[in-house]
Amino acid sequence: MEKLSPRELIIKTLKEKSSLKQDVYANTLHAFNVFKSIAKKVAADLKKEAVAIDKRVVIDYREKGAFEFELRVAGDLLIFSMHTNIFEFDKSHSVWKTSYVREDHLRSFCGIINVYNFLNDSFTYNRVNDSGYVIGRVFVNKENHYFVEGKRQLGFLYNDFVHCVIDEDAIKQILESTILYCLNFDLFTPPFDSIKEISVADMQTATEGMQIKTGKRLGFRFQADNDDFS
């Protein structure tokens, strides 16, 4: 095989990777815009149902820019954020065990949509020390194949990277599973030892700034496939 010059290698890399990443970015951005559209509809539908149940239950959709939107569901705030860069999986990742990726390694390059879960009160009362969690990551590649890494049902319902192509139905299912997960992911009281000591400054500002840290699993181990909501 003829050895390529540095310039030829640059052109080859630009052709293979840079154009590829533009394609993956376009696919991910399109999927994210569909997420926005469907999230807005889902929020409107749930809001009608919630009002009939209890007017105090708030369901709301808010767009925060080209790459972020929020869903408020009762006391939870879900933030969906698209990363603007494209990533490849580490060679130890399970996607490399599939014939789908082994046949074409460029299929391993993906855009990422991150899903975060916060307490809505953390933002309402500016509790900047409160914790949130990444509960899911949606990966989309050049062929619009996708899978989700996430907690509980998010991690095992949407993990067929080889066959699953992202579309409106898939996005709606992911959204509904995400909302259901958060509603079942309850706020635990922190262990006594983690809060028994508090500074004067924290106590003085607790009422106005809520500096006492709050999170759904504060003080507890939070790891994949080991959550118990019963």
Write out the H or E segment, with its range, that includes residue 215. Answer: none
Q: Is residue 224 part of a domain?
A: no
Token pair in block for residue 184: 């079942």
Instruction: Let me know if residue 104 belongs to a domain.
Output: yes
pLDDT band at residue 13 under the 50/70/90 scheme: confident
Q: Which of 229, 25, 228, 216 is nearest to 113 (CA)?
A: 25
Could you tell me the CA-to-CA distances from 89 to 42, 187, 209 in Å, in that order?
Answer: 32, 33, 41
Give the range with max mean pLDDT: 32-41, 45-54, 189-198.
Answer: 32-41
Kindly report, residue by residue over 129-176, the tens digit of the pLDDT: 788 889 999 999 999 999 999 877 777 789 999 999 999 999 999 999
In a domain, 228, yes or no: no
Per-residue model confidence (pLDDT) at position 165: 97
Cβ-contact 138, 146 below 8 angstroms: yes
How many structural domains does the chain have?
1
At residue 8, what is the residue type?
A: E
The string of pLDDT tens digits covering residues 90-115 is 999 999 999 999 999 999 999 999 99
Residue span of the structural domain in which 173 resides: 7-187
More confident residue, 224 or 184: 184
Quote the tokens at residue 4.
């390529």
pLDDT at 16: 82
Residue 156 pLDDT: 77
Between the alpha carbon of residue 96 and those of residues 101, 109, 142, 157, 165, the distances in Å are 6, 11, 16, 20, 18
Residue with tokens 């409106």: 168
